[in-house]
Amino acid sequence: MRTMELRPKDWFPDKYVNQFKGWEDFSNFEVELEVKRYNITIHQLLTHTSGLPFAMRVDKKDLIRQKLFYKPGTQFGYTLGHRVAGWLLRDYWMQQPEGRRLGITNCQDTFKFLVFDPLGLSKETRFSHTLQHAFGFEGSAGDASIMSTGEDMMKLAVVALRKGQLPTGKVMISEVNWNKWAVPNLLPGGKMSKDLVSWEGSSASWSNWNVGGMKESIMQQSGDYGWNYFGATYNKSQEIGWCGFFSSCLRVSYLSGLAFVMMQRDVADLKKSKPYVIENFESIASFLRCPGASTCVRPGYPTVFCDVKGKKATLSTSCQQNATRGKGFSHPDFTVDEKKRACYVPACSPPAPSTWWGGGSSASSSDRRRRWFR
């Protein structure tokens, strides 16, 4: 989305991948049970409607030889579309004056230029070599093996809550484009993913990571969802977000004016954290909402206050703003002080950045905290 915002003439949803320099041979794909061959668009990559497989260690040459699992633009199936988009971004920006000046050579450089630096993320957010054995190839995966922290993910959540705007007021994505690209369900016919996906049949293969229901169990979310360029969209586009491969989640509720980030490493989600977040999001929002906060706050005014024994007060440094879920004797729990802790009041449109970050073990050793922030 960032590149479509910056270079709309070069990057737009209906553009075919094979129209990019160096990608001319990424075309003319065979499709299961079809005679006709097809090309793939940027829109189809971003919405997982391209028909590409969902696999791990693959590169561009491998993908060119793949047969699509369905006609592009007709079904939904979690694919390597975002990985290809990451490689496209890398190759595109390498050729631009900015890329040559910054010495962009891989996805890490590209994402740092487009997203990490503008968001003010720490060095902890990066493509990690730890998982290169699984996702590797092509310099970096483009869609996976990114390590991050709760604080950094919170910054992304704030921008999503503010519909493309940083807390400083700087616009990364215009609100018009955000509402067009990141809020509505962009799947074919506006249908939900469950109505467009066939996890078995011709898609049941090792190359598509879908033998014995493997793909479905890994990527299964809680509740029905659509899809757009930011991620999944829920509850008639009142919420957006996603829970990824390791079950870390980012969820934004425009209705509640709140964003939630959960960091963990649990591919199988043994703790059932994903459904817990979805089922209890409103109760989380209710707990964090200031007492008597039945209305919204006008843009430009504070949205975070202090709940002092059930009464809303001005936020101060003495007001508890974080709690810790510890691990063992060296990292004990630091529980919430019910008598004096931070709370929020939902902001009127456009939403101001009130977010809650919570998590168990995360992708970084520094992520053993729970916080709520303005």
State the pLDDT at residue 307: 94
Residue 90 pLDDT greater than 50, yes or no: yes
Question: Beta-carbon neighbour count of residue 329 at 10 Å?
Answer: 6
Q: Which residues, including other chains, have CB under 8 Å from residue 26's CB and lie 6 or more apart?
A: 17, 18, 40, 60, 63, 64, 84
Q: Which residue is listed with tokens 């508890």? A: 320
Between CA 353 and CA 183, with CA 300 as vertex, the angle to 5 degrees is 45
Parent domain of 126: 8-193+224-237
Per residue in 330-365, pLDDT (tens digit) is 667 778 888 999 999 988 765 544 544 444 433 443
Please give the pLDDT value at position 170: 93
The answer, yes or no, to whether residue 4 has pLDDT greater than 50, is yes
Give the residue-averaged pLDDT of 272-286: 85
Residue 103 has pLDDT above 50, yes or no: yes
Cβ-contact 252, 259 below 8 angstroms: yes
**In this structure, what token pair is assigned to residue 195?**
């109505």
Structure confidence at residue 185 (pLDDT): 97
- Distance of alpha carbon 219 from alpha carbon 221, whole angstroms: 6
For the segment 87-109, the average pLDDT, to the nearest whole number, is: 95
What letter represents residue 78's amino acid? Y
Whether residue 342 lies inside any domain: the answer is: no
**How many other C-beta atoms lie within 10 A of the C-beta of residue 370?**
19
Q: What pLDDT does residue 41 have?
A: 98
So what's the pLDDT on residue 137? 52
Residues shown for the chain = 374
At residue 139, does pLDDT exceed 80? no
Q: Which tokens belong to 153?
A: 């993910």
Task: Lowest mean pLDDT of 7-21, 62-76, 203-217, 294-308, name the range.
Answer: 203-217
In angstroms, the CA 137 to CA 84 distance is: 12
* Residue 162 pLDDT grade (very low, low, confident, very high; cuts 50, 70, 90): very high
Phi, psi of 193 (to 5 degrees): -60, -35
Rounded to whole angstroms, the Cα distance separating 297 from 319 reads 20
For residue 347, tell me if it sits in a domain. Answer: no
Contacts of 166 (CB under 8 A, 6+ apart): 118, 119, 158, 159, 172
Q: Which tens digit of pLDDT belongs to each residue from 171-218?
A: 999 999 999 999 999 999 999 988 887 544 444 454 544 444 555 555
Lowest pLDDT segment from 95-104, 155-164, 314-323: 314-323
181 within a domain of the structure (yes/no): yes
Q: Which amino acid is located at 281 in the chain?
A: F
Q: What is the pLDDT of residue 269?
A: 79
244 φ, ψ (degrees, to nearest 5): -90, -165
pLDDT at site 130: 67
* CA atoms of 249 and 361, how far apart (whole Å): 13
Q: Is 155 within the bounds of a domain? A: yes
* Residue 260, in any domain of the structure: no
Residue written as tokens 């990364």? 172
Residue 126 included in any domain: yes
Distances in Å between the alpha carbon of 144 and those of 48, 49, 213? 15, 19, 21
The pair phi, psi for residue 341, each rounded to 5°, is -150, 160
Query: Side-chain half-sphere of 333: how many Cα atoms within 13 Å?
Result: 6
- On whether the CB atoms of residues 116 and 90 are closer than 8 A, the answer is no
Residue 71 Cα distances to 35, 56, 67, 190, angstroms: 11, 22, 10, 17
Average pLDDT in the chain: 82
What are 28-69's pLDDT values in tens digits?
999 988 899 999 999 999 999 998 887 655 678 878 888 898
Confidence (pLDDT) at 55: 67
Q: Residue 373 — pLDDT band, cuts 50, 70, 90?
A: very low
In a domain, 187, yes or no: yes
Q: SS3 sequence, 105-134?
A: CCHHHHHHHHHHCCCCCCCCCEECHHHHHH
Contact 351, 303 (CB under 8 A): no
The residue behind tokens 């809303």 is 312
Q: What is the pLDDT of residues 216-272, one digit of tens each?
A: 555 455 568 899 999 999 989 999 998 877 788 899 999 888 888 888 877 777 888
**Residue 81: both structure tokens together:** 């579309």
Strand, coil or helix: what is 346? coil
Coil/strand/helix, residue 178: helix
Which strand (E) or helix (H) includes residue 6? Answer: helix 2-6
CA–CA separation, 139 vs 87, rounded Å?
9
Question: Does some domain include residue 337?
Answer: no
Candidate ranges 46-55, 143-152, 197-206, 295-304; pick with highest mean pLDDT: 46-55
Number of domains the chain is built from: 1
Give pLDDT, residue 224. 83
pLDDT bucket at 371, cuts 50 / 70 / 90: very low
β-bridge mates for residue 293, sequence order: none
CA-CA distance, 194 to 3, in Å (whole number)? 30
Determine the Cα–Cα distance for residues 125 and 151; give it in Å rounded to an integer: 10
